[in-house]
């Protein structure tokens, strides 16, 4: 794509300067300090190359130009005695010409030539967009290697930093791009790393390591974000936790192949330290070949800093997400998904009865899952044949959809557009639409292969069928699934993950444009596509295919590093979990699903009268609290007992809060650790009460029976204390049994 001319920089802030370092004279460019919500990013723009980052972290306060220059001068001369070290400060796109020996910001060549660009700065322009952020537009070029760079750096109102690059080939021949990454420096006191891993039904497992010399690289070659995706790669001060410590984190907002890295070198690198954090898209050999005048644009990479632990780092991301124009604004409807209720056994009478029972307990959105389309009696056939199966639905889906709407609920449908079953009419008619090399058939996984969405014919077919289904049935919501990794993905003879990812984005964007009312959930065999790239065009994610509440406690706890509760689907499953075989109390299942975008995935037509009553109570509780749950700050206590978790949501003005205490396992301690409730206003006095509407299995009193003696406030069901007392001293806790949970609500007096 073509590049627009850069706006002229204000002469006072950005005067011209001599580009020869040996003869550089004043006037010189003033340093740039971006500040928001306690975060600051300091850039040195005085050199001939790209701006150097001198500081990313705590806000030094409002500085006048002389003080700012003095700070920048001090940071720019702070180096070890070794004269062979590079200049302090990390360039925004570090290269070998910067004497940078770590992962390069850019890598590429023209048939082995022009592989070491030396970009010189053309212009720097600062603007204040209407959304309240700050943006720096940086233009640079290297005529010798035929490259032009346009970098956009944004400091959002929340203090989140976002970066992306646009690289244009200005040379006469094709330029093969191997890497184009975004990196920011870390200080020397960031000495520990935290990232996430996982597998199907056990996503978001944390792992912590020391940050030694060398590279900590998380490379993803799955073609989708992956069950083992780190979401955030974090570096921090020793022992950083949810509420304490200084942390720096990064996330690549991309749904295809990508990498995150933290790298520490022996020599000083920048910002007073010797380490970097960042990432970008991971490209296969030859995947991006830029013809003359063509431009490649990277995904956005997000950077968050906090001096208040992981919760502070999450706050910045959550605040930015909630400020987006596309963020869901309406109350998140209580959803029933039919998968674990009926699986593939579709029947109008049975599903109508399920819809009526769903309405009875307060459901607001009814989603028909897998099994409605041609030949789909199990998971071995039918993907790609997106027509309602007349053998199962002789009158189509309108009778069910119309009944759902008569009951006052929205109607949703499951689809998996990016996949095709070898046993399908589509695969038989169009084998050339499969994402594979010419004359080859991919190895099936889960009885399916990938459809080449970037193929014009395949894209046109998908667009037409999805549009027809939405229009003809009156669909309000799509559960958009993606059930396998992409292997040997080839589009038009070249590696195809990049093209596939952009094509899927474009397809979703088109559907949303044609159907503005439509909401879409990103599901990928559970939580394998959770990233800010897909969430730029969808309304929630399915965090995991497991509804086992104990598994979900951990999955949702760590998914919250990146996403606020309203974007995370959380369902009440049946008593015996489909994925683990574990039996769980309905109270635990309900309270686990409460702190998110809540729903049900269970054949509730078989529920007892008592279970229906408890589900109605839970539904009412969700509707009462979702205004707080979906706008307040997510807080996770650093509880003294690792077998007991305490988390909640505190309103923006700290006048209201809800907390859930969960006992995960037994503990050797005979006396439970006190409940210390974080995030409250120290000077406010709060009324705390236990919310017992859901009750416990086999219990008609509504209360959760503890495992041992209870403190007086628990016996009363309420307490009164200041925020300082509740957070710093805490309340004596009951000894819950493993698998029990309890909900507390607080209101300031």
pLDDT at 87: 64
Residues of the chain with CATH 3.20.20.70: 343-624
Q: Measure Cα distances from 607 to 118, 472, 613, 674 in Å.
A: 69, 33, 10, 36
State whether the Cα torsion 621-626-628-629 is positive or negative: positive
> Does an H or E element contain 121, and which?
strand 120-127
Q: Are 59 and 39 in contact (CB under 8 A)?
A: yes
Helix (H, G, I), strand (E, B) or coil at 533: coil
State whether the Cα torsion 536-250-317-242 is positive or negative: positive
pLDDT at 668: 86
Q: Are 545 and 570 in contact (CB under 8 A)?
A: no
What is the DSSP pairing of strand 147-155 with strand 161-169? Answer: antiparallel
pTM of the model: 0.94
Q: Outline where DSSP puts E strands in 329-450.
A: 335-337, 365-368, 410-415, 419-420, 449-450
Q: Residue 563: is it exposed, middle or buried by C-beta count within 10 angstroms (0-12/13-18/19+)?
A: buried
Q: Are 490 and 436 in contact (CB under 8 A)?
A: yes
CA distance 102 to 168: 24
pLDDT at 47: 87
Residues of the chain with CATH 2.60.40.1180: 635-748
User: Taking the CA of residue 426 as centre, how many other CA atoms within 13 Å lie in the half-sphere pointing to its CB?
Assistant: 28
Q: Per the structure block, which two tokens stand in for 632?
A: 């307040």
Which residues of the chain carry a pLDDT beneath 50? 1-27, 79-81, 269-272, 700-702
Q: How far apart, in Å, do the first and last CA atoms of the chain sit?
A: 58
pLDDT digits (tens, 9 = 90+) for 726-745: 999 999 998 899 999 999 99
Sequence-ordered list of residues with C-beta below 8 angstroms from that of 206, at least 6 positions apart, any chain? 194, 195, 196, 558
Q: What share of the chain is helix, strand, coil (3-state, %, to 5)?
A: 20, 30, 50
Residue by residue, DSSP assigns 215-277 as EEEEEE-SSS--TT--S-EEEESTT--SSSS-EEEEEE--SSSEEEEEEE-SS--BTTBSEEE
CA distance 203 to 199: 5
CA distance 603 to 585: 16
Q: What are the start-end ranges of the H helices in 25-119?
A: 65-77
pLDDT at 247: 98
Q: Are 677 and 725 in contact (CB under 8 A)?
A: no
Q: Per the structure block, which two tokens stand in for 624?
A: 């009462």
Q: Which residues pair with 450 in a beta bridge?
A: 419
Helix (H, G, I), strand (E, B) or coil at 345: coil
Q: Per the structure block, which two tokens stand in for 139?
A: 């233009």
Q: Are 156 and 315 in contact (CB under 8 A)?
A: no
Q: Residue 586: is it exposed, middle or buried by C-beta count within 10 angstroms (0-12/13-18/19+)?
A: buried
State whether the Cα torsion 638-639-642-647 is positive or negative: negative
Q: Are 603 and 527 in contact (CB under 8 A)?
A: no
Which long-range contacts does 605-614 make (Cβ < 8 Å, 24+ apart)?
A: 605/350, 605/353, 605/354, 605/357, 607/357, 610/700, 611/586, 612/357, 612/360, 612/361, 614/586, 614/587, 614/590, 614/693, 614/694, 614/695
Q: Are 176 and 186 in contact (CB under 8 A)?
A: no
CA distance 588 to 736: 12
Q: Which residues pair with 448 in a beta bridge?
A: 445
**Check whether domain 343-624 has CATH 3.20.20.70, yes or no:** yes
Q: Which residue numbers are catalytic? A: 481, 545
Helix (H, G, I), strand (E, B) or coil at 733: coil
CA distance 729 to 717: 19
- Name the class of domain 635-748: mainly beta
Sequence-ordered list of residues with C-beta below 8 angstroms from that of 393, at least 6 positions apart, any chain? 346, 348, 372, 400
Q: Per the structure block, which two tokens stand in for 596?
A: 């998110």
CA distance 717 to 688: 8
CA distance 539 to 638: 30
pLDDT at 686: 98
pLDDT at 231: 97
Chain mean position to CA 164: 17
Instruction: Give the residue from 432, 473, 472, 425 showing the smallest Cα distance to 452.
Output: 432
Q: Are 535 and 522 in contact (CB under 8 A)?
A: yes
């Amino acid at each position: 794509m073509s590049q627009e001319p850069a706006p002229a920089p204000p002469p006072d802030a950005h005067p011209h300067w001599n580009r020869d370092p040996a003869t550089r004279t004043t006037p010189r460019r003033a340093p740039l300090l971006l500040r928001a919500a306690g975060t600051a990013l300091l850039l040195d723009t005085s050199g001939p190359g790209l701006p150097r980052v001198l500081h990313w972290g705590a806000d030094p306060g409002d500085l006048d130009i002389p003080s700012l220059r003095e700070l920048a001068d001090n940071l720019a001369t702070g180096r070890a005695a070794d004269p062979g070290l590079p200049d302090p400060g990390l360039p925004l796109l570090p290269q070998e010409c910067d004497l940078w020996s770590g992962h390069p910001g850019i890598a590429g060549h023209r048939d082995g030539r022009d592989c070491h660009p030396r970009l010189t700065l053309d212009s720097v322009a600062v603007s204040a967009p209407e959304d309240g952020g700050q943006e720096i537009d940086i233009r640079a070029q290297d005529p010798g290697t035929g490259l032009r760079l346009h970098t956009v750096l944004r400091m959002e109102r929340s203090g989140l930093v976002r970066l992306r690059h646009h690289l244009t080939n200005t040379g006469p021949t094709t330029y093969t791009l191997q890497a184009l990454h975004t990196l920011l420096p870390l200080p020397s006191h960031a000495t520990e790393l935290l990232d996430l891993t996982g597998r199907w039904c056990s996503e978001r497992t944390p792992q912590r390591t020391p940050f030694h010399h060398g590279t900590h690289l998380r490379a993803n070659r799955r073609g989708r974000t992956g069950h083992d995706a780190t979401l955030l790669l974090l570096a921090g001060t020793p022992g950083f936790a949810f509420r304490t410590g200084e942390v720096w984190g990064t996330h690549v907002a991309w749904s295809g192949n990508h990498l995150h890295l933290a790298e520490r070198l022996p020599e000083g690198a920048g910002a007073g330290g010797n380490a970097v954090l960042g990432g970008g898209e991971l490209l296969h050999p030859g995947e991006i070949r830029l013809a003359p005048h063509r431009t490649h644009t990277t995904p956005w990479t997000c950077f968050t800093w906090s001096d208040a632990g992981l919760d502070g780092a999450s706050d910045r991301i959550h605040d930015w997400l909630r400020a987006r124009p596309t963020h869901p604004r309406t109350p998140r409807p209580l959803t029933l998904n039919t998968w674990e209720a009926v699986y593939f056994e579709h029947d109008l009478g049975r599903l109508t009865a399920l819809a009526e029972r769903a309405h009875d307990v307060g459901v607001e959105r009814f989603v028909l899952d897998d099994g409605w389309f041609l030949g789909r009696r199990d998971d071995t056939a039918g993907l790609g044949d997106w027509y309602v199966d007349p053998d199962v639905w002789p009158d189509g889906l309108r009778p069910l959809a119309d009944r759902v709407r008569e009951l006052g609920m929205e109607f949703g449908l499951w689809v998996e557009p990016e996949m095709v079953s070898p046993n399908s009419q589509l695969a038989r008619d169009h084998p050339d639409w499969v994402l594979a090399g010419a004359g080859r058939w991919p190895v099936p996984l889960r009885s399916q292969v990938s459809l080449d969405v970037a193929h014009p014919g395949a894209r046109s077919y998908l667009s037409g069928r999805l549009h027809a289904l939405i229009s003809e049935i009156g669909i309000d919501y799509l559960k958009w699934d993606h059930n396998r990794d992409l292997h040997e993905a080839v589009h038009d003879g070249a590696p195809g993950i990049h093209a596939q990812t952009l094509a899927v984005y474009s397809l979703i964007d088109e559907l949303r444009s044609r159907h503005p009312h439509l909401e879409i959930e990103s599901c990928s065999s559970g939580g394998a596509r959770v990233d800010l790239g897909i969430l730029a065009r969808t309304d929630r994610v399915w965090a995991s295919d497991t509804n086992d509440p104990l598994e979900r406690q951990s999955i949702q706890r760590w998914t919250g590093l990146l996403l606020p509760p309203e974007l995370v689907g959380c369902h009440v499953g049946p008593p015996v979990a489909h994925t683990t075989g574990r039996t769980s109390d309905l109270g635990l299942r309900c309270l686990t699903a409460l702190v998110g975008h809540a729903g049900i995935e269970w054949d509730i037509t078989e529920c007892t009268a008592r279970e229906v009553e408890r589900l109605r109570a839970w539904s009412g509780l969700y509707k009462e609290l979702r205004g707080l749950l979906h706008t307040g700050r997510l807080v996770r206590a650093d509880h003294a007992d690792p077998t007991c978790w305490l988390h909640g949501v505190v309103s923006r003005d700290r006048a209201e809060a809800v907390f859930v205490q969960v006992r995960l396992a037994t503990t050797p301690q005979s006396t439970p650790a006190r409940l210390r409730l974080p995030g409250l206003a120290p000077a406010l006095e709060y009324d705390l009460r236990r919310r017992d509407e859901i009750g416990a299995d086999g219990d008609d009193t509504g209360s959760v029976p503890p495992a041992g003696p209870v403190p007086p406030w628990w016996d009363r069901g309420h307490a009164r204390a200041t925020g300082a007392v509740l957070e710093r001293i805490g309340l004596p806790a009951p000894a819950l049994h493993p698998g029990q949970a309890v909900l507390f609500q607080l209101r300031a007096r």
